[in-house]
Amino acid sequence: MTVHFIGAGPGAADLITVRGQQLLASCGVCLYPGSLTPTDLLAHCPDGATLVDTADLTLDDIIGKLVAAHESGHDVARLCSGDPAVYSAVAEQMRRLDAAGVPYDVTPGVPAFSAAAAVLGRELTVPTVGQSLILTRAQARSTSMPEGEELATLGASGATLALHLAVNRVEQVVDELLPHYGPGCPAAVVAKATQPGETVLRGTLGDIAVQVREAGLNRAAMIFVGKVLAAENFPDSFLYSAGRERHAPGDPYCEHGGQPH
């Protein structure tokens, strides 16, 4: 049997992928992060399915349940908030399953940063303004950041930043980024994107920390910093330019399905 790591999306039950929903409906066992999974999403599980909230479980506990379900002949839905590729703790679970000889696959989901950008109504790659997006977090009560990935180092690039797991350290974020972006750089915070209680703050690097504290935000929030958040007078993308020859040999826009600006 198979363990299916499934991206549950950013919060709203209808933002799970069709594949994810179908897998969820086919598994007799579902492990889910209780504090982040809407009950409407669990309604897709089949009648009589075993539902396990992992909020208070250790890694050993979780692996034990995955292996036991596999040995009992059950496919398992292992829901992950957002997308499994980012801050999901899937890597260590895969490593343990490899050692136990348990097969698994991964179904992507809508990541939190993407949902938050949609709530803001902003594209995060804007022609001539910003073409790079750095996903990172702030150092807190968690695994230390690898050398060279300190926030101040990443901020030196001037690229658009999307910070997970950082709202409780918003003052630290501001202090480390001010030398590179300046107090007037646009900033935004989206908490509980697509969920009840969704909160959106817009401002600058100079005032966003005060806004966060006044709003009482302390979890499930994305912080964005970058000029793209307020971009207005930028040129149109070359993608749809009337001056671009379409279907030309070697045109990466056509042959590879990419849409660079």
Of residues 224 and 143, more confidence is placed in 224
Secondary structure (DSSP) of 184-229: TSEEEEEESTTSTT-EEEEEETTTHHHHHHHHT--SSEEEEESGGG
Is residue 146 packed enough to be buried (19+ CB in 10 Å), middle (13-18) or exposed (0-12)?
Answer: exposed
pLDDT for the residue numbered 95: 97
pLDDT at site 260: 57
pLDDT tens across 231-259, in order?
998 988 877 777 777 666 666 655 445 55
Nearest Cα residue to 29 out of 64, 60, 59: 64
HEC string of 225-243?
A: ECHHHHCCCCCCCHHHCCC
- Using the structure block, give the residue that is written with the tokens 């969820």: 24
Summarize pLDDT for 131-175 with one digit per residue, the tens: 999 999 886 666 778 788 889 999 999 999 999 989 999 999 999
Report the distance separating Cα 188 and Cα 192, nearest Å: 13
Distance of CA 21 to the CA centre of its chain: 18
Q: Shortest CA distance to 77 belongs to which of 25, 36, 39, 112?
A: 25
DSSP 3-state of 141: coil
pLDDT tens per residue, range 36-64:
788 899 999 999 999 999 999 999 999 99
Under DSSP, the state recorded for 140 is S
Beta partners for residue 107, in sequence order: 6
pLDDT, tens digit, 9 for 90 and up, residues 80-128 = 999 999 999 999 999 999 999 999 999 999 999 999 999 999 999 999 9
How much is the pTM? Answer: 0.88
In the chain, the largest separation of any two C-alpha atoms, in whole Å, equals: 62
List the structure tokens of 75: 């496919």
Which of these, 108, 116, 53, lies nearest to 84 by C-alpha position? 108
CA angle 192–224–14, rounded 5-degree value: 35
pLDDT higher at 37 or 206: 206
DSSP 3-state assignment of 183? coil
End-to-end CA distance of the chain: 44
pLDDT of residue 116: 97
Q: Tokens 């409407």 belong to which residue?
A: 40
Alpha-carbon distance of 80 to 98, in angstroms, equals 19
Q: What per-residue confidence (pLDDT) applies to 237?
A: 83
Q: Are 7 and 115 in contact (CB under 8 A)?
A: no
Contacts of residue 36, defined as CB under 8 A and 6 or more positions apart, other chains included, come to 8, 11, 81, 220
